[in-house]
Amino acid sequence: MPNSMMRAVGVVPGKREVRLIEHEAPGIAAANQVKIRSLEVGVCGTDREICTFVYGSPPDGFEYLVLGHESLGEVIEVGAGVSSLKPGDLVVPSVRRPCPHANCLPCRADKQDFCFTGDFTERGIKMTHGFLTEYYLEEEKYLTYVPPELRDVAVLVEPLTVAEKGLAQVWEVQRRLPWIPPKTTPGQPGAGKNAVVLGAGPVGILGAMVLLVNGFKTCVYSRSKAPNPKSELVESLGATYLSAQVESVDQLAERIGNIDLVYEAVGTAKISYEVLRVLGLNGIYVFTGIPAPKPSLEIDADIIMRKLVLKNQVVLGTVNADRASFEGAIRDLGIFRKRWPVALRSLITGRYKIDQFRDLLLGRATGIKNVIALD
Ligand SMILES: [Zn+2]
Ligand SMILES: [Zn+2]
């Protein structure tokens, strides 16, 4: 008996179309599968870029790719071998799926975020359908349970995993020196340290929240002049907001003192390398943005190289997230919800119906995090 059809939003790269798609409704076919009803799907710059057809490839045998990689869903059915989830549970799926190669150590160790071969797939991005549809299937191991009290904010989990994985690596890398004073308050390993977040989009603001709860003195450095809705939100968290139009990078450095950590969430190289020039002693710089290729630009390469060496600095790029980062993001969302209930909810600036996808994916980017609500 053929399955029924359901609505999805997808791209058809061969025809350069973004449209509503009649997508086959899934049915559980393996014991480890979970059937999920989509509740909310977040839209981000990656989705918007896929809609310009620079990347985003359909699965084999399909001319379209269903979009959506930031999902909150509700379990409606589980396979016979699923033990950790039951119908009614809220879940967030991860995005990347391992490559098939036996010699890829990370993929074989469930660390496909560090895949060596490049033959991984990503739901809603690369060769696997995404979550912007009414129902989808997922293997139990790629789902993380979400407590019901996080229902209204859990669509932020996936963008928050960027900071979770970034910071987990910061602690790993900085273990090579005595970076955390032995008397630091438990749970506040960043206390006494200065962090700069570049960019005040959702990844930047969520990153600032993670840094604040870890005790860092945090400054968000972004283009727009204050006051504006994002600067007000950032300051309500207890971070400082500085505008790059008002304060130069050198003024930023002078005001902050030793910059111990930079969390880049702006996605453009020019300002990012300017700030790399003022990274402090033993500082670590985490790049998360993926700029579109542009003409080459002039940077203070000798000064940057000199400081990287003389100041024992580390520059780290990070993509994707592992299971621990998803669990960390859900734990931290619970902390944010208690500490900043209003600010956290205000990160979600719009909820749209599925048939309003054009405005969200092709129109001008507005607000902070916009989501498509399917329920
Ligand atoms: Zn995204
Ligand atoms: Zn791999």
| 297-312 confidence digits (pLDDT tens) | 999 999 999 999 999 9
Instruction: Tell whether the model's pLDDT for residue 155 goes beyond 70.
Output: yes
How remote is the CA of residue 95 from the centroid of ligand 2, in Å?
A: 14
Which pair of structure tokens corresponds to residue 294? 């542009």
Task: Find the ligand nearest to 113 CA.
Answer: 2
Angle of CA points 262, 264, 268, to nearest 5°: 135
Task: Find the ligand nearest to 320 CA.
Answer: 1
Q: What is residue 3's predicted lDDT score, i.e. its pLDDT?
A: 64
Which residue's structure tokens are 């036996």?
A: 102
291 strand-pairing partners:
none
Which tens digits make up the pLDDT trace of 191-202? 999 999 999 999
3-state SS, residue 301: helix
- Distance of alpha carbon 322 from alpha carbon 367, whole angstroms: 28
Which pair of structure tokens corresponds to residue 313? 């600095």
pTM reported for the whole predicted model:
0.96
H, E, C per residue of 327-352: HHHHHHHHHHHHHCHHHHHHCEEEEE
Q: What is residue 2's predicted lDDT score, i.e. its pLDDT?
A: 52
Task: Find the ligand nearest to 71 CA.
Answer: 1
- Distance of alpha carbon 198 from alpha carbon 219, whole angstroms: 9
Which tens digits make up the pLDDT trace of 22-49? 999 999 999 999 999 999 999 999 999 9
Average pLDDT, the chain: 97
Cβ-contact 360, 43 below 8 angstroms: yes
How remote is the CA of residue 117 from the centroid of ligand 2, in Å?
A: 5
Instruction: Tell whether the model's pLDDT for residue 347 goes beyond 60.
Output: yes
Task: Find the ligand nearest to 157 CA.
Answer: 1
How remote is the CA of residue 184 from the centroid of ligand 1, in Å?
A: 34
Which pair of structure tokens corresponds to residue 309? 């060496």
Cβ-contact 157, 143 below 8 angstroms: no
Closest CA to 122 of 97, 155, 151, 93: 97
Using N-to-C axis directions, what is the helix angle for 157-174 and 323-339, rounded to 10°? 110
Which pair of structure tokens corresponds to residue 36? 């999920």
Q: Span 143-168, mean pLDDT? A: 98
Distance between terminal CA atoms of the chain?
27
Which tens digits make up the pLDDT trace of 84-99? 999 999 999 999 999 9
179 strand-pairing partners:
none
H helical segments located in the chain: 45-50, 105-108, 157-174, 202-213, 229-237, 249-256, 269-276, 301-310, 323-339, 341-346, 357-362
Rg (CA), the chain: 21
Q: Span 171-178, mean pLDDT? A: 97
What are the DSSP calls for 250-263, one per residue? Answer: HHHHHHH-S--EEE
Task: Find the ligand nearest to 201 CA.
Answer: 1
